[in-house]
Amino acid sequence: MRTAFIKQLVEAAKTNNKIFLLVGDLGYSVVELFAQQFPDRFLNVGIAEQNMTGIAVGLAMEGYNVFTYSIGNFPTLRCMEQIRYDMCYHNANVKVVAVGGGYAYGALGTSHHTTEELGMLRTIPNLNVLAPADPLEAQIITKMLCNNNEPSYLRLGKAGEPMVHSKDKTFSWGNIIEVFQGKGTAVLSTGSMLKYASDYIQKEKKEYGLYSVPFIKPLNLVDLATIASKYTSIITIEEHQRSGGFGSAILEGLHDLLEQEKIATLPKIKRLAIPDRFIGVAGTQDYLRKIAGLQL
């Protein structure tokens, strides 16, 4: 996903001289493509993510569309105050990009497990929260962000994630994306859990419908209502803490729809997410997912 992101950012920067990229002392073998072509719009600020966010806001105030890029927790949890007060309170045109969402950097331990930031960030006003599932979603959403002036958070995987969608798949801002239809039960996935969900449903020959939800905030309640009217049961799956994350957003959205009388009944909901504890071991992403119980 990170390769799809940087390639699309480079393409956009060729025609938009307001795109600026800041990195926090990482991205080697990834960001060089941008740095070499646009040295005047690239800055490595070093291991100083809070300062990076402040610099980004200053550049945004001067008219730039600024992308900050670092590993998982570092441009997010470490920078919550700067994101809230500097970036979102001032509605600054900054896109925070975190590479290695969930357990993608699992071998580096808890400090690199990005498993709480979705819940924390989606409570901040003015902030879009996005988690694409495969390189195609990452490429399309990056293109959207290059033409969007709102504060946003983009959660990416690490590298090598396979395609789930066909190359001709298209979607618009905010869409819940149908992967395939089913009967009875719909699985709603966000981020890179989509590949696992797709493989499981097909291998086990389940009649589940499958949907990708890269737009966690704003959540598309029209699309959600359509799904709720077609299925009696919904399973949410995410590589994130159970409290406050994607599944919580779906529950909130469904209850809002019920209150507004836009759906007649609530589907049965099952949430698959990381339990309320730290997984304090190092290991591969798949290994840590199994320990956390992220299995249909």
**Closest to 73 measured CA to CA, from 177, 153, 6, 179:** 153
Residue ranges of domains in the chain, CATH in brackets: 2-156 (3.40.50.970), 177-292 (3.40.50.920)
Q: How confident is the model at residue 26 (pLDDT cuts 50, 70, 90)?
A: confident
- Structure-block tokens of residue 126: 């003015």
Q: How confident is the model at residue 282 (pLDDT cuts 50, 70, 90)?
A: very high
**Closest to 288 measured CA to CA, from 159, 155, 113:** 113
Measured at the CA of 148, the angle between CA 125 and CA 118, to 5 degrees, comes to 40
Measured at the CA of 6, the angle between CA 52 and CA 130, to 5 degrees, comes to 70
pLDDT at 158: 86
How much of the chain exceeds pLDDT 70, in percent? 100
Q: How confident is the model at residue 159 (pLDDT cuts 50, 70, 90)?
A: confident
pLDDT at 95: 98
| Mean pLDDT across the chain | 96
32 pLDDT exceeds 80? yes
How much of the chain exceeds pLDDT 90, in percent? 96
pLDDT at 29: 83
42-56, pLDDT tens digit by residue? 999 999 999 999 999
217-227, pLDDT tens digit by residue? 999 999 999 99
205-261, pLDDT tens digit by residue? 999 999 999 999 999 999 999 999 999 999 999 999 999 999 999 999 999 999 999
Cα 31 to Cα 220: distance, rounded to the nearest angstrom = 32
